[in-house]
C-alpha cells in the first residue's frame, strides 16, 4: 500500500468520525457496525496463506521456550482477595435511616 493510499484512508476515516460526532448514539453505533462489516469482508477477501505461514513460524518459536513453573501450594490454598465473583453481603435494614 502506498503512502498516498494510507493518507486517503486516514482522511476518509476522519471524515466519518467528524460526521458521526454530531449524530445521536444509535446512528454512531450503526456507522461503527457498517465499518466493522466492511473491515470483515475486506479481511476475508485477503489471501490468508501468507498469514498462516507466519503463525506456524511463531508457534514453532514458542515451542522452544521453557515450560512455566507450577504455582506454589500456598497460593492455591489462600482465598483470593477482592474476588470480583464474590457475593456482596446484605446489610440489615436497621443500618439504613428511615425517612
pLDDT at 13 over 60: yes
Q: What is the pTM of this model?
A: 0.42
Domain range enclosing 41: 1-64
Placement of cell 511463531 in the chain = 58
Domain annotation covers residue 20: yes
Looking at the structure of the chain, the number of domains it has is: 1
Domain annotation covers residue 41: yes
| pLDDT 10s digits, 75-91 | 555 555 666 666 666 66
Domain annotation covers residue 96: no
**Alpha-carbon distance values, 18 to 5, 6, 33, 39, 81 (Å):** 20, 18, 17, 19, 44
Domain annotation covers residue 90: no
Amino acid at each position: 500500500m502506498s503512502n498516498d493510499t494510507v493518507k486517503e484512508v486516514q482522511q476518509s476515516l476522519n471524515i466519518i468520525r467528524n460526521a458521526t460526532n454530531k449524530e445521536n448514539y444509535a446512528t454512531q453505533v450503526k456507522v461503527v457496525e457498517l465499518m466493522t462489516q466492511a473491515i470483515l469482508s475486506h479481511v476475508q477477501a485477503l489471501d490468508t496463506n501468507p498469514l498462516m505461514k507466519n503463525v506456524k513460524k511463531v508457534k514453532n518459536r514458542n515451542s522452544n521456550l521453557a515450560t512455566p513453573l507450577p504455582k506454589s501450594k500456598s497460593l492455591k490454598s489462600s482465598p483470593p482477595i477482592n474476588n470480583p465473583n464474590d457475593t456482596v453481603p446484605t446489610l440489615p435494614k436497621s443500618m439504613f435511616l428511615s425517612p
